[in-house]
Amino acid sequence: MTTLPPDRTAMPKVAHELREAITAGQYAPGERLSEIAVAESFGVSRNTLRESFQALAEQRLITRIPNRGVSVASPEMADVIDIYRMRRILELGALASGSRLHPAYADMTAAVKDARAAEEAGDWPAVGTENMHFHSALVRFSDSPRVVSAFENVAAEMRLAFLRLNDPERLHQPFMGRNEVILAAIEADDLAAASAALTDYLADSERLLLSTYSRLGLS
């Protein structure tokens, strides 16, 4: 039987599509991934898929355990704490350069509008998606591709933590107005107020996530 070498031109595309599928909840946190099934679903060789798995393992989205295969990552409480530590560094640092004249501001405004529309429709997973779009746009104030890339990896882990709890309304409803407060402060050129609002947002969001983990008896 011929073993096909990894297709290194296809690998980035496969890794991106698998990452999107994982963060969209098509594969549950902790779910074991069958190489054969996933390779067939993406139409690639198993060697190409293994290269993609390696890229996602480096992003902490999957775990590879010897003799047990590959599984979707399942963030623990310690991971959540570290994710928020990173969010504070990236988001508050980027916000220091915030301006309503920056293109990211328009994207943040659109995310708030779309989140409200999703709320009216009762689509809480979509609210969560728009919330992350808001914060992803905020990080683009940094004008740094490296900062943006680092945040996207953190945001993907964040989505897995939310998916593990499987209660999007409880996790997102209390924060519906928080992004609007941040946006209004930026519009008023009051970055100190925006930073204070974001600091409180992240503290309260982390507290809610950790208390939910504790209530459900998750490590």
Q: Give 1's pLDDT tier (boundaries 50, 70, 90).
A: very low
Encoded amino acid at 129, one letter:
T
Q: Using one digit for the tens of pLDDT, what is the confidence trace for 172-209?
A: 999 989 999 999 999 999 999 999 999 999 999 999 99
Specify the pLDDT at position 10: 60
User: Kind and range of the H or E element at 131?
Assistant: helix 124-139
- Of 44, 48, 46, the C-alpha closest to 8 is 48
Please compute the mean of the pLDDT values over residues 112-132 and round it to a whole number.
95
Q: Is the pLDDT of residue 67 over 90?
A: no
Q: Is the pLDDT of residue 36 over 60?
A: yes
77-215: what fold? Four Helix Bundle (Hemerythrin (Met), subunit A) (1.20.120)
Residues 208 and 162 sit within 8 Å (Cβ to Cβ): no
Please compute the mean of the pLDDT values over residues 22-28 and round it to a whole number.
89
Specify the pTM: 0.88
Residues 52 and 59 sit within 8 Å (Cβ to Cβ): no
- Of 210, 139, 208, the C-alpha closest to 172 is 208
Specify the pLDDT at position 8: 52
Q: In this structure, which CATH number among 1.10.10.10, 3.90.1150.10, 1.10.3720.10, 3.40.50.2300 belongs to the domain 11-72?
A: 1.10.10.10
